[in-house]
Chains A and B, each alone.
Chain A
Amino acid sequence: MSIFERFTEGWKKYRKPGYYREFDYHWAMTIDLDKCTGCEACVTACKAENNLPIVGEEEFAKGREVQWIRIERYWEGEYPNVKLGFIPMLCQHCDAAPCETVCPVSATYHNQDGLNTQIYNRCIGTRSCAVYCPFEVRYFNFNDHHWDSPLDQQLNPDVTVREKGVMEKCTFCIQRIRQAKDDAKDDGRRRVRDGEVQPACVQSCPSNALVFGDRKDPDSQVAKSMKDPRAYRVLEELNTDPSVVYLKKVDAKG
């Protein structure tokens, strides 16, 4: 098979509308804003699991922090009738992701599990994906980060420590998905069971506001949760088809 034929075959497979219905899995997440208390346990868990650096005060002021999941605050109303709202924001793993089409070296792509993934080795750091991302969830490593001893002992060996000049983003804890698939193969099962794999943020959520699972399985908890009448997706008008679904917060005023 020539390179051209392989290219057109790959293009047919992944660049047609509805291509994601052929995924092996379609990982998705729902976030119940009614249950979310904004405690930022997910943020801490993500930092620990995925070797995210603590950039320090100076770099933070320059907007160079790295948080794959963050709690965004916003204020509603005029003083004194102000109300604080917040929303956990992570990579939405869009099926029609704007960041993928713009990468000049195809370092970000959609894999067979419906994940929007980033290959650090291939990334050349043009940062165009961060510009195209409407959710602002891609983070660039402006510096080489180091962990003083004994903090380097807590680095996760299943995740690379990203170097300077590389873009990074939420992976839905792909190392855990890989481990779950591995265990499923050992047991002789073809597929991962529902609830067997949880990203760090979902695992750490004290109020179970975050639910993760395979959207293609109609019996999974996440598929049921997505049918909730409160379900909506952030910036839906951009038609990026995100895999993260939010359940609206309903208060007394409605």
Chain B
Amino acid sequence: MNVSIVPALKVLRPAAVVGAVAFFGLFVGYWANALLVPGTSPEQPIAFSHKVHAGDNDIPCMYCHTQARRSISAGVPSVSKCMGCHIEVATEKPQIRKLTSYWDNKEPIPWIKVHDLPDFVHFTHKRHISAGIECQTCHGPVETMERITVTSRAIDGSFQLGTPWEMGLCLNCHKQNEVDNGTDCWTCHK
């Protein structure tokens, strides 16, 4: 008796086509995701270096992020804050020229937000700074970064570049420091 494998293959052909398309789509999806969704270290409109400002020149964080100790959000400094120094300092560098053009056109710089919390989380910078928490505790070693990268912290205290924040980061710290009602859901959620 003659047994052929061909009819079986014919039946399987649609499944094989679907599988091939799915396999191809996986790569397309990965590429589209990397292209369209901002990553953990997006390229900013001006290549601002925290290393130069906060690291080498030792400018305190709250010289520019003035709202951090007064309000919920730390805030991004206005263009006039930048121009306060850069009207004199390093005016000939290409990145500063870009900054000056924003200043001349009276436009805000479209910075891309890197450290972002979901809308259901309530976090006040004011409360944490008045409790004496260093900025680096959550934001990582910013003074060494050329370009800001999302940084998380492991339980052992080591920084993990490129890892977004999770609830455990908040809870660990609240437990270690024995915050009043620190583990109540409505302390942080809203």
Contacts and interface: CB of A to CB of B under 8 A. Distances in A.
B81 interface: no
B181 A24 contact: yes
| Listed residue (B126, B189, B190) with the most chain A CB atoms within 10 angstroms of its CB | B190
Interface residues of B, number: 13
Given A160-B120, A175-B190, A185-B127, A119 B181 contact: no
B186 A117 contact: yes
Contacts of B127: 182, 185
Interface in A179-201: 182, 185-186
A109 B184 CA distance: 10
Contact of A111 (B120, B124, B126, B184): B184
Contacts of B185: 109, 111, 117, 119, 122
Nearest to A120: B120
Interface string A97-126: 000000000000101100101011110000
A100 B163 CA distance: 35
A158 B122 contact: yes
A111 B190 contact: no
A180 B124 CA distance: 14
Given A112-B184, A117-B185, A119-B185, A160 B124 contact: no
Given A24-B181, A112-B181, A182-B127, A174 B186 contact: yes
A111 B186 CA distance: 8
B149 to A, nearest CB: 27
Given A119-B189, A121-B189, A185-B127, A160 B184 contact: no
B166 interface: no
Contact of A178 (B119, B120, B122, B126): B122
Interface string B107-143: 0000000000001101010110010000000000000
Interface of A: 24, 109, 111-112, 115, 117, 119-122, 158-161, 174-175, 178, 182, 185-186
- A-B CB proximity, top 9 nearest: A160-B120, A119-B185, A112-B181, A111-B184, A117-B186, A160-B190, A111-B186, A174-B186, A119-B189
